[in-house]
Amino acid sequence: MKLKSTFKSAVGVVTLLALNSTVNAEDFFVDSKASYYDAVSQVGPGDDIVFKNGTYRDFEIKFQAQGSKQAPVTLRAETKGEVVFSVTNSHFETISGNVFAFNKEKDDLGIYNVEVLNISNNVFENVSGALALIYRGGTDESTFGPKVTLSDNTLTKVGHGKRNKRKASIFLHGVQKTNIRNNTFDSSAKVRIEHTVGEPQTTLSQNSFSNTDKPSIIDFLTAKDGCQCQ
């Protein structure tokens, strides 16, 4: 992902899930950039990198490790909902790829990659991929996430890249609670939302769409429009 950034009022917050550790895996606890990169240099198949509870500001995650389907290397929170990555005062411009992508669940077991995602007061321009790409598979209704809020953002020319397979500026699959409000979409790909499990609540209100198709909300549970749109 190529990123040119300047600064404007913006907030993006991501909360990690706490996942079960692999049996006999070694846990590497981290609380800073230095300890994180030290852990990355040491992890092996089946190990976990565990972020200690707290807020990590402007924290860039670069990750390369040896794992396998049977013994993956996992990044997780120390306690569910208590690890937050915060990006503040940023203007994102000219990005080849997705901005927030949590879509690497391939087995549909419901072990999704983010619990809470709040994106507020941001400016996104010329993004070839999606602003937010979230996939929650599985049918376990005992889990109540993810929860997504997007408010007071401006999206200009977002989501039209040839490699954007979803053809969406925002793609949410299986998200349980969605609130998209007071955003401005200009010359961007449509918002695409898919309801697949539980009793999802989706609300779109006071958004402006210019040269942008109206949102697409598909409810696979009832084959009906599941959106409360204003």
Pair (102, 178) in one structural domain:
yes
Pair (172, 58) in one structural domain:
no
Q: What is the pLDDT of residue 222?
A: 67
Chain centroid, CA 204 distance in Å: 18
- Reading across the β-sheet that carries 4-6, which strands appear in turn? 4-6, 91-95, 123-127, 154-158, 184-186, 208-210
Q: What is the pLDDT of residue 107?
A: 62
Q: What is the pLDDT of residue 224?
A: 53
Domain encompassing residue 35: 19-79
Q: What is the pLDDT of residue 72?
A: 80
DSSP 40: H
Q: What is the pLDDT of residue 141?
A: 63
Q: What is the pLDDT of residue 21?
A: 46
Pair (50, 93) in one structural domain:
no
Q: What is the pLDDT of residue 140?
A: 66
Which helix (H) or strand (E) element contains residue 37? helix 33-40
Pair (52, 89) in one structural domain:
no
Last residue of a domain, one of 29, 60, 79: 79
Determine contact, residues 162/132, Cβ cutoff 8 Å: no
Q: What is the pLDDT of residue 119?
A: 87
Q: What is the pLDDT of residue 188?
A: 98
Pair (89, 112) in one structural domain:
yes
Pair (124, 211) in one structural domain:
yes
Threshold 0.75, pTM exceeds:
no
Low-confidence ranges of the chain (pLDDT < 70): 1-24, 63, 87-90, 103-113, 139-143, 222-230
Measured distance CA(147)–CA(177) in Å, rounded? 5
Pair (35, 10) in one structural domain:
no
Pair (137, 187) in one structural domain:
yes
Q: What is the pLDDT of residue 20?
A: 47
